[in-house]
Chains A and B, each alone.
Chain A
């Protein structure tokens, strides 16, 4: 069987909706280059007006934190409760702050 798309990278697709502030990851696809990745992303991931802006990133460019390192990476923040507004007592007379 022919393998003409052996060089087709996997691209991660991010879409920002009309009222959205950030691009959201919606999935991935194969394409031979970035421009065609955008066109394919438009065809597959915006059929229902999901967005007005597309980013495509080669999968290989994404580095993910390791699930095994969840504890050392994220537990240091867990006990720093003073970073949250609820740690601070504001008198009721002040109203909302």
Chain B
């Protein structure tokens, strides 16, 4: 295995894993304030799923010969990157709908493509994740449906969430192809099977009709169906905002990191308890053998 291939995969898979884990935070924010029990169990299950997704991906990264503690350490020290979409705040319940529908929707477009990635353990993790991810998107869209078909206030809340999450979701696909530094090499190695712009176009074409069904307006005045290309033309993405958030100046970067560090530190007793229990059981087994 070429060392550069190995290194780029470790970087990509671990960033993907970190994104899942950090991605739990914006939605966990609303679990205690879900408007019904049905919404609460669904959101709780989704957030639990994301933890599991992080696990599958850390495990896939480890097959490349890197230590789990090093990966986790890099996240907590702020050295490692994760998807910048998770640096935005969730300010209303409608954000739960918008995130499930748009953010998971964009993730699905990327992840379906990655099911054919050249590295087996990564592809297999993607297959499993894709199966689970579709519940996430349906859960989100159901929330949007309820709000859009509710009171005028609820519909406005849904529109507001769409307004805030639309462009950041498009940015999830990364820079345009001509400005994406890693893309060419990743495509050559068949790690990446479709380009950023290709996936972004796919996502837009699939999602705009879904917004129209909701009776909501996509916040892009330049959005227009192009009959010739059989797809939507769309407006300019604010790349300054994108790079600013990637650099660490997004609204929630600091909070996300400190929440992760806090979770790790406050979870130390669980790890210690597990170790103590394992030691106790091992001793119990050894004593039994001796007594026999």
Contacts and interface: CB of A to CB of B under 8 A. Distances in A.
Contacts of A28: 59, 62
Contacts of B275: 4-5, 7, 32
Contacts of A4: 268, 271-272, 275
A1 B79 CA distance: 14
Interface string B112-148: 0000000000001100100010000000000000000
Contacts of B68: 30
A51 to B, nearest CB: 13
Given A10-B62, A27-B125, A33 B271 contact: no
Interface stretch (B16-24, B49-57, B237-245, B250-258): B49-57
Given A7-B275, A33-B281, A36-B278, A2 B52 contact: no
Interface string A23-34: 000111111110
A35 interface: yes
B69 A6 contact: yes
A31 B278 CA distance: 9
Nearest to B131: A48
Nearest to B45: A47
A84 to B, nearest CB: 28
B216 interface: no
A47 to B, nearest CB: 7
A36 B282 CA distance: 12
A47 B52 contact: yes
Interface string A5-49: 111001000000000000000111111110110000000100110
B5 interface: no
Contacts of B272: 4
Interface residues on A, range: 20 to 34
Given A10-B62, A29-B59, A36 B49 contact: no
Contacts of A83: none
Interface string A77-96: 00000000000000000000
Contacts of B271: 2, 4-5
Contacts of A70: none
A32 B59 contact: no
Given A4-B275, A48-B132, 5 more contacts: A3-B69, A5-B271, A5-B274, A26-B128, A32-B275
Interface of A: 1-7, 10, 26-33, 35-36, 44, 47-48
Interface of B: 48-49, 52, 55-56, 59, 62, 68-69, 73, 76, 124-125, 128, 132, 264, 268, 271-272, 274-275, 277-278, 281-282
7 contacts: A2-B268, A2-B271, A10-B59, A26-B128, A27-B56, A33-B278, A47-B52
State the 3 A-B residue pairs at the shortest beta-carbon distance, nearest first.
Answer: A32-B278, A33-B278, A4-B271
